[in-house]
Amino acid sequence: MKVMAVNGSPRKRWNTATLLAKALKGAASQGADIELIHLYDLNFKGCISCFACKTKGGKSYGRCAVKDGLAPILKKVEEADALILGSPIYFGIVSGEMRSFMERLLFPYFTYTDPPQSLFPRKIPTGFIYTMNVTEELMKEWGYEQLFGNNQRLLEMVFGASESLCSFDTYQFKDYSKVVADRFDPEKKAKRRQEVFPQDCDQAFAMGARLAQKQA
């Protein structure tokens, strides 16, 4: 059993990456082989609208035809038994690298039929972990839930069952005194990092364990 996680953050040891690592540890606790991919290590672009994945009788029908740094990762997804995505929220949406990855990951498997069908060869559980600087209250006020819901529906349409986890009001800087960020209280941020973020880590661990159990 293989569980794969994809980090859409440029930072490899901060909030998003930490939660993904915890989720993978949860999967490993159920006997899964695990792998973490950092998108910012790869050289790739989003969908280029070549439509090779939609061409009748084409050798790339149902598969992304672009040969770049993302191609071997997309191949690994087809071999995975569960998939976990993770991204910080930038200006109300996932990072640019995660968005480009999702275009390349999801679009080839959608058919332009009515109703749409999935060309992914089997069903695998998926999860999406979001980290954000805003509070849960602001997240709801600013309508982020629509983004999360849309992403979950897309993952469900392609792969099957999916779930989401949000980590709010995250600790963004190691030293707030070195940046212009007067709107934030560093002491409150540090306290939440110490008291609440470990709970988010526990939830991520549980997510990974659940996804692995579904495929055990």
Give CA–CA dist 164/2, Å, rounded. Answer: 20
How much is the average pLDDT of 139-143?
92
* 32-50 per-position pLDDT tens digit: 999 999 999 999 999 999 9
Query: Hey, where are the domains in the chain?
Result: 2-215
Residues contacting residue 152 through CB under 8 Å, at least 6 positions apart: 128, 162, 163, 164
Q: Which amino acid, one-letter code, is at 39?
A: L
Instruction: Please compute the mean of the pLDDT values over residues 192-199 and round it to a whole number.
Output: 93
When pLDDT is averaged across residues 177-198 and rounded to a whole number, the result is 88
Residues 67-96: tens digit of each pLDDT: 999 999 999 999 999 999 999 999 999 999
Task: Dig out the tokens for 212 from the structure.
Answer: 């692995």
Instruction: Supply the pLDDT for residue 180.
Output: 87
Q: Which fold has domain 2-215?
A: Rossmann fold (3.40.50)
The model's confidence at residue 189, banded by pLDDT at 50, 70 and 90, is confident
Over 90: is that where the pLDDT of 183 sits?
A: no
What is the phi/psi pair of residue 87, to 5°?
-155, 145
